Amino acid sequence: MSLLITDAGIAASIEAEALGINYKITHIGIGLDGYVPTLEQTQLKNEVAREALSRGSVPALGQLHFEAVFSGNTSFDGKEIGYFLEDGTLFAVDSRDGEILSLKRSNTIITEAFELNLAGSSIKNITVELMGAPYATEELAGIAKITTIDKMNSDDDETIV
């Protein structure tokens, strides 16, 4: 098992829909314990770092992309990742029974990128807090990667000329 939307995350989505509002995923937490997540979880089991999102986007309906920067003296072999709403609710948790999901050493800076695909769920009122400029698409102005000559004739839709 990997990502699991918690009971609290589902309840927040139902409440948001009833109130006609959106809740935002605003923070990522990383912890040291590896286990099989449960629906009843309200926190990570051994959280060592939590950071606000540094960038986010909604590439398509039900798809969330976001990044968080972890820096400083903290060192970890992250085996659990929590996705927190703006009110601190643990929306979802990812842990794979001991597999290392994120690795950071002391006095280093890492940027972790995360993708959530909620397209197969009924979660409609959970979004990612958009920080900074979004990634550019053919329909949306934003940040884009510039392509290389080798990729110009390929089917690469991720970069631009």
Q: Are 9 and 57 in contact (CB under 8 A)?
A: no
Asked whether residue 153 falls in the same domain as residue 87, the answer is no
55 vs 161, higher pLDDT: 55
What is the reported pLDDT for 137?
64
Q: State both tokens at 86.
A: 């703006």
Q: In terms of domains, do 122 and 57 share one?
A: yes
As a whole number, mean pLDDT of residues 64-82 equals 90
Q: Tell me: pLDDT of 92 over 80.
A: yes
Q: What are 21-52's pLDDT values in tens digits?
A: 777 888 999 999 999 999 999 999 999 999 99
Structural domain span for residue 80: 4-130
Let me know whether 150 and 110 are in one domain: no
- Confidence at residue 88, expressed as pLDDT on a 0 to 100 scale: 95
Residues 76, 141 within the same domain: no
Q: What is the pLDDT of residue 130?
A: 47
What span, in angstroms and rounded, lies between the C-alpha atoms of 58 and 23? 14
pLDDT at 126 over 60: no
Separation CA 14–CA 123 (nearest Å)? 8
The tally of domains found in the chain comes to 2
